[in-house]
């Protein structure tokens, strides 16, 4: 029982963290272009024109 | 003021323009566009959205959309300007749904974790503790994630109607309330997991539906903006001043420069010129107009300045008439009942009566109100339309995704449903069956000097033929010759002097069957032939439509000569010289004889017809009005997407019907179990997820439908 008293709050907290991260990602338009993200991996990094 | 603007300042005054670039296919294209544009002065940043095949460019206001479009085209990609979209604000509603979905998912997983312990045999205090914990998670989750349903249900009830959300809300609230009571009294079964899972699956359906709408909306442009924002008005004392369109009054006299759009309808008082009326009439050749002729708002003055006495402004112009016609024609569509709504109409009362009957039956048998209510709630939960709610949107999202990859944007799910029903296809000609811009075919008959002269002459004119010749010559890297005394003769062409020799680009001396222009240098005369090419794969697309039981015909506002050329080439019947009103009448006539018409068109003059047809498709090159009125937009040059859309739509409806059959079949098995009181939360959870997964899996088969 004492194990549960720690594990269940930990599980819930971790879940809430995940949820918070998801909300953060959504607010930052991380899901706008899912196919593009997959393609961009293939682009060679070039010197940024400064 | 030529100091370098600090970056912060530059960004604060930057403008974002969007372009559709259908040819983006790979990572290389992304890199090419983004790197290529970053070197252009005035462009602050550019971002390619691969999923929607769009490029968003943030730039200084000095650069206008046409220049940006040219920049993209210089990189080797065809681009279309996307106007700012007033509908894009609605995107927020999908975001809200996704948040609700995420919360429901979080709640579902945690409650399920606790439920599994209960199912695997936790008893006594442990079970009670877990039930309380579930309640603690479930109640805020339901309060948050259930809002879309509760809001819609109360709205419906307030107006004395009922929709799918009413049984959903009742089911969820009853299940939660009963589970709370069970928990408080230390009962064996609680349905928190069921209630939250229900929300999760239903929200998934809503999110899919919303995503589909957003995706298409992002690509589809804006409203009437064909008429000019204002005009130069000549006052009685001869001075001119600029007056905004809304302040124009009849009997004002406006100066319309060559290349200018008309802001109002009017009669030409002084001067003569040729006008591009294709927007209004669909006629591809410019119309010469002189004193006393009527000219309409939105048409383009091509050759020389004229003075026009205003006869009608604002709401009274022909453009506004077309908008009104479109509005009327679009009315009938609001009567269309979507498949899901039709199903809900029968489903909701049936489920409610069933639950009520179960409750009454068990009361009569003497099971006690607690037991009877539990069974009734089990019936509500197990019949709750999870699979039904997913059946339609899942299929439509997968299908529209498949179509999007082929360059067709479908505006909403009902468009796919209506597309599946069509049995007759009407095509506009210019810009729809043809590419809509003439291309010179025999340029290479000219030598270099002649090309240079032709370019110099064509550069000075707004005539569509001149534009076509100019574009073709520029593509060959020709530099223009130096000319003196360049002059435009309305209805005739451009004339000038080249090293003292008269040169001219204009109407051919012998009247030709199709678009042509004649270049004369001294006594040399060469006729340049132009052709408005038929879209690639048009015959194949028409043959495919025919094979699917859709006979096609042309209805065009253009003159009979150019229409018959295309009609013979494609071997389909045609009607020429049709006004926007005629097109609508043709469609209502066909509809009256029981046909469901697919209209494919692009121009402003097709707007009312596109709105009147059962379903309509516009090419990406269409006017904003055309895109606005159409249910789907295809961005490729080929006509094949039209046939493909019909095929995919029909396949989608097959899958939707299969999904309905699956959902109903599941109920036939599950409902008797619930009625006899054998459904525990465990069985409800398994049944619900299983039916939803099967439906989604079936919908995924559509991924390959657009091959």
pLDDT in tens, B476-510: 778 888 887 777 776 677 888 888 888 888 777 66
Q: Do the beta carbons of residue B454 and residue B487 sit within 8 Å?
A: no
Any chain A CB within 8 A of the CB of B475? no
Q: Model pTM?
A: 0.74
Apex CA B168: angle with CA B90 and CA B352, to 5°? 140
Using CA atoms, how far apart are residues B430 and B563, in angstroms rounded to an integer? 9
Among chain B residues, the shortest Cα distance to A35 is held by: B51
- The residue among B5, B2, B16, B4 whose CA lies nearest residue B61 is B16
Any chain A CB within 8 A of the CB of B225? no
Nearest Cα of chain B lies from the Cα of A7 at a distance, in angstroms, of 12
Give me chain B's average pLDDT, please.
81
Residues B384-417 have pLDDT tens digits of: 767 777 888 888 888 888 888 788 888 777 888 8
Do B102 and A44 make contact, defined as CB atoms within 8 angstroms? no
Percent of chain B with pLDDT over 70: 90
Token pair for residue B487?
Answer: 């002059």
pLDDT value at position B651? 93
Handedness of CA B497, B499, B502, B508 (dihedral sign): negative
Using CA atoms, how far apart are residues B383 and B381, in angstroms rounded to an integer? 6
> Which candidate from B38, B50, B114 shows the least CB-CB separation from A33?
B50
Burial pattern B183-219, b for ≥16 Cβ within 10 A else e, equals beeebebbbbbbbbbbbbbbbbbbbbbbbbbbbbbbb
Nearest Cα of chain B lies from the Cα of A25 at a distance, in angstroms, of 11
Residue B424, beta-bridge partner list: B597
Question: Residue B41, CB half-sphere, CA atoms under 13 Å: how many?
Answer: 3
- The residue among B41, B80, B32, B83 whose CA lies nearest residue B62 is B41
Token pair for residue B199?
Answer: 């929300």
Q: Do the beta carbons of residue B427 and residue B600 sit within 8 Å?
A: yes
How many helices (H) and strands (E) chain A has is answered by: 2, 0
Token pair for residue A29?
Answer: 């338009």
Catalytic residues of B: 428
Which residue of A15, A17, A18, A25 is the best one to mutate when testing the B interface, meaning the one whose CB has the most B CBs within 10 A?
A15
Q: Which chain A residues are closer than 8 Å to B106 by Cβ?
A: 15-16, 18-19
Q: Phi then psi for B504, rounded to 5 degrees?
A: -155, 145
Nearest Cα of chain B lies from the Cα of A16 at a distance, in angstroms, of 8
Residue where the block lists tokens 């269409």 = B622
Any chain A CB within 8 A of the CB of B56? no
Do A34 and B35 make contact, defined as CB atoms within 8 angstroms? no
Which residue of A28, A36, A38 is the best one to mutate when testing the B interface, meaning the one whose CB has the most B CBs within 10 A?
A36
Token pair for residue B456?
Answer: 């110099």
Residues B94-103 have pLDDT tens digits of: 888 899 999 9
The two beta strands, B493-498 and B484-489, are antiparallel
pLDDT tier at B62, thresholds 50, 70, 90: confident
Among chain B residues, the shortest Cα distance to A22 is held by: B102
- The residue among B91, B29, B76, B620 whose CA lies nearest residue A35 is B29
- The residue among B413, B418, B81, B389 whose CA lies nearest residue B214 is B413
- B82 or B558: which leads in pLDDT: B558
The answer for residues whose C-beta is within 8 angstroms of residue B689's C-beta and 6 or more apart is B197, B201
Cβ atoms within 10 Å, residue B399 = 27
Tell me which H or E stretch contains B611. Answer: helix B607-612
Helix or strand or coil: residue B307? strand
Any chain A CB within 8 A of the CB of B509? no
pLDDT value at position B135? 93
Using CA atoms, how far apart are residues B394 and B320, in angstroms rounded to an integer? 39
Which residue of A43, A45, A50 is the best one to mutate when testing the B interface, meaning the one whose CB has the most B CBs within 10 A?
A43
Q: Tell me: ipTM over 0.85.
A: no
Cβ atoms within 10 Å, residue B603 = 28
A vs B: CB pairs below 8 A: 57
Helices B386-405 and B339-365: crossing angle in degrees, nearest 10, is 160
Which residue of B37, B50, B128, B145 is the best one to mutate when testing the A interface, meaning the one whose CB has the most A CBs within 10 A?
B50
DSSP code at position B252: -
pLDDT value at position B91? 58
Among chain A residues, the shortest Cα distance to B7 is held by: A50
Would the pLDDT of B698 be above 60? yes
Using CA atoms, how far apart are residues B275 and B257, in angstroms rounded to an integer? 12
- The residue among B416, B42, B66, B368 whose CA lies nearest residue B212 is B416
Q: Supply the DSSP string of B216-243, one letter for each residue.
A: HHHH-------S-SEEEEEPTTS-EEEE
Residue B234, beta-bridge partner list: B240, B253
Average pLDDT over residues B577-602: 88
Token pair for residue B542?
Answer: 């028409």
Any chain A CB within 8 A of the CB of B99? yes
- B511 or B545: which leads in pLDDT: B545
Nearest Cα of chain A lies from the Cα of B399 at a distance, in angstroms, of 17
Token pair for residue B643?
Answer: 């046939």
Q: Do the beta carbons of residue B597 and residue B587 sit within 8 Å?
A: yes
**Would you tell me which residues 9-48 of chain A have a C-beta closer than 8 angstroms to some C-beta of chain B?**
11-12, 15-16, 18-19, 22-23, 26, 32-36, 39-44, 46
Tell me which H or E stretch contains B569. Answer: helix B560-570
Average pLDDT over residues B54-80: 81
B615 CB-contact burial (10 Å; exposed 0-12 / middle 13-18 / buried 19+): buried
Q: Which chain A residues are closer than 8 Å to B52 by Cβ?
A: 33
Q: Do the beta carbons of residue B270 and residue B304 sit within 8 Å?
A: no
Using CA atoms, how far apart are residues B300 and B228, in angstroms rounded to an integer? 10
Average pLDDT over residues B203-223: 68
Residue where the block lists tokens 């639950």 = B355
Using CA atoms, how far apart are residues B106 and A15, in angstroms rounded to an integer? 6
Nearest Cα of chain A lies from the Cα of B98 at a distance, in angstroms, of 9
Token pair for residue B633?
Answer: 């937009």
Do B106 and A18 make contact, defined as CB atoms within 8 angstroms? yes
Using CA atoms, how far apart are residues B603 and B557, in angstroms rounded to an integer? 10
pLDDT value at position B137? 92
Among chain A residues, the shortest Cα distance to B95 is held by: A26
Using CA atoms, how far apart are residues B297 and B228, in angstroms rounded to an integer? 8
pLDDT value at position A17? 93
- The residue among B325, B253, B369, B349 whose CA lies nearest residue B580 is B325
Any chain A CB within 8 A of the CB of B350? no
pLDDT value at position B6? 46
pLDDT value at position B143? 94
């Amino acid at each position: 029982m004492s194990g549960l008293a720690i594990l269940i709050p930990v599980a819930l907290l971790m879940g809430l963290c995940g949820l918070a991260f998801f909300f953060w990602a959504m607010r930052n338009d991380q899901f706008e272009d899912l196919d593009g993200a997959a393609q961009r991996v293939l682009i060679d990094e070039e010197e940024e024109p400064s | 003021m030529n100091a370098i603007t600090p970056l912060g300042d530059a960004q604060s005054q930057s403008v974002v323009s969007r372009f559709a670039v259908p040819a983006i296919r790979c990572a290389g294209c992304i890199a090419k566009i983004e790197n290529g544009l970053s070197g252009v002065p005035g462009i602050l940043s550019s971002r390619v959205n691969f999923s929607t095949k769009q490029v968003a460019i943030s730039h200084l206001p000095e650069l206008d959309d046409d220049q940006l479009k040219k920049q993209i085209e210089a990189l080797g990609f065809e681009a279309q300007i996307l106007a700012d979209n007033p509908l894009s604000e609605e995107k927020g509603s999908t975001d809200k749904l996704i948040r609700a979905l995420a919360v429901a998912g979080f709640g579902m997983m945690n409650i399920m974790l606790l439920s599994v312990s209960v199912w695997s045999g936790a008893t006594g205090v442990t079970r009670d503790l877990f039930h309380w914990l579930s309640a603690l998670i479930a109640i805020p989750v339901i309060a948050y994630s259930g809002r879309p349903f509760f809001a819609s249900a109360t709205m419906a009830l307030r107006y004395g109607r009922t929709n799918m959300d009413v049984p959903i809300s009742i089911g969820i609230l009853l299940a939660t309330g009963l589970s709370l009571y069970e928990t408080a009294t230390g009962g064996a079964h609680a349905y928190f997991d069921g209630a939250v899972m229900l929300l999760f699956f239903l929200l998934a359906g809503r999110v899919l539906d919303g995503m589909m709408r957003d995706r298409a909306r992002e690509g589809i442009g804006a409203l009437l903006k064909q008429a000019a924002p204002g005009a130069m008005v000549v006052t009685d004392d001869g001075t001119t001043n600029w007056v905004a369109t809304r302040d124009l009054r009849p009997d004002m006299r406006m100066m319309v420069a060559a290349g200018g759009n008309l802001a109002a309808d009017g009669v030409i008082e002084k001067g003569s010129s040729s006008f591009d009326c294709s927007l209004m009439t669909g006629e591809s050749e410019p119309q010469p107009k002189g004193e006393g002729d009527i000219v309409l708002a939105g048409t383009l003055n091509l050759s020389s300045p004229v003075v026009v006495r205003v006869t009608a402004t604002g709401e009274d112009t022909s453009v506004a008439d077309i908008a009104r016609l479109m509005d009327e024609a679009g009315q009938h569509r609001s009567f269309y009942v979507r498949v899901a709504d039709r199903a809900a109409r029968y489903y909701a009362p049936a489920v409610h009566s069933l639950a009520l009957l179960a409750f009454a039956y068990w009361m009569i048998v003497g099971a006690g109100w607690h037991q009877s209510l539990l069974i009734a709630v089990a019936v509500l939960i197990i019949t709750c339309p999870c699979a039904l709610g997913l059946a339609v949107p899942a299929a439509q999202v997968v299908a529209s995704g498949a179509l999007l990859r082929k360059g067709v944007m479908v505006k909403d799910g009902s468009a796919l449903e209506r597309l599946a029903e069509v049995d007759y296809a009407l095509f506009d000609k210019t810009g729809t069956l043809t590419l809509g811009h003439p291309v010179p075919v025999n340029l290479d008959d000219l030598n270099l000097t002649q090309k240079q002269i032709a370019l110099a002459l064509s550069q000075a004119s707004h005539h569509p033929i001149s534009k076509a010749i100019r574009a073709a010559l520029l593509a060959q890297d020709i530099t223009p010759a130096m000319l003196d005394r360049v002059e435009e003769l309305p209805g005739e062409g451009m004339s000038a002097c080249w090293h003292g020799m008269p040169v001219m680009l204009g109407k051919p001396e012998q009247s030709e069957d199709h678009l042509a222009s004649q270049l004369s240098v001294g006594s040399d005369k060469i006729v340049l032939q132009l052709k408005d090419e038929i879209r690639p794969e048009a015959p194949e697309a028409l043959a495919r439509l025919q094979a699917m039981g859709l006979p096609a015909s042309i209805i065009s506002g253009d003159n009979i000569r150019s229409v018959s050329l295309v009609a013979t080439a494609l071997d389909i019947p045609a009607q020429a010289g049709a006004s926007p009103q005629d097109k609508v009448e043709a469609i209502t006539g066909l509809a009256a004889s029981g046909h469901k018409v697919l209209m494919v068109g692009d121009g402003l003059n097709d707007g009312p017809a596109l709105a009147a047809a059962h379903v309509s498709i516009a090419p990406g090159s269409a006017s904003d009005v055309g895109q606005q009125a159409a249910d789907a937009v295809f961005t490729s040059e080929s006509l094949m997407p039209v046939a493909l859309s019909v095929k995919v739509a029909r396949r989608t409806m097959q899958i939707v019907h299969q999904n309905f059959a699956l959902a109903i079949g599941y109920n036939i098995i599950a409902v008797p179990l619930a009625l006899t009181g054998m459904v525990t939360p465990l069985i409800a959870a398994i049944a619900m997820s299983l039916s939803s997964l099967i439906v989604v899996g079936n919908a995924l088969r559509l991924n390959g439908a657009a091959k």
